[in-house]
């Protein structure tokens, strides 16, 4: 089993910055990709950013140029640096990992962290 623990959410004014972190632990053999999703009230969960094992990244269009995803492979931790935040970025942000354990490969989710951007 893999556990994901997120931190770093909070309340910030528009134009401000936050950094989210997500640490993976458990019987991990390898992590194939890690990413951040978000879900605003009344909306579907959407992919914000993803980073794969080789270091390639992909971003949702509305966050390109403002958010940066990066990993600390040694500690199985992924970060999301969020700059120039806008009220529309307000959502619960979830960490996701595509990980291989000693038994199988699967997808895992963190508990979510609230990000609120005031105007």
Question: Per residue in 45-77, pLDDT tens?
Answer: 999 999 998 899 999 999 999 999 999 999 999
Instruction: Kindly tell me if the per-residue pLDDT of 103 is higher than 90.
Output: no
For 13, half-sphere exposure in the C-beta direction (CA atoms, 13 angstrom radius) is: 0
Instruction: Kindly tell me if the per-residue pLDDT of 6 is higher than 90.
Output: yes
Mean pLDDT in residue range 80-105: 96
pLDDT at 61: 98
Highest mean pLDDT among 26-30, 37-41, 72-76: 37-41
How much of the chain exceeds pLDDT 90, in percent?
A: 93
> Which residues sit opposite 34 in a β-bridge?
51, 97
Instruction: Kindly tell me if the per-residue pLDDT of 102 is higher than 90.
Output: no
Cα distances (Å, whole numbers) of residue 37 to 46, 79, 90, 94: 5, 12, 12, 5
């Amino acid at each position: 089993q893999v556990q994901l623990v997120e931190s770093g959410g909070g309340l910030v004014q528009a134009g401000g910055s936050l950094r989210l972190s997500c640490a993976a632990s458990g019987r991990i053999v390898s992590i194939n990709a890690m990413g951040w999703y978000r879900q605003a009230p009344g909306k579907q969960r959407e992919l914000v950013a993803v980073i794969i094992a080789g270091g390639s990244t992909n971003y949702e269009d509305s966050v390109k140029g403002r958010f940066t995803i990066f990993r600390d492979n040694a500690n199985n931790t992924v970060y999301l640096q969020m700059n120039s935040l806008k009220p529309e970025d307000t959502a619960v942000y979830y960490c996701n990992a595509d990980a291989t354990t000693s038994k199988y490969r699967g997808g895992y989710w963190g508990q979510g962290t609230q990000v609120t951007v005031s105007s």
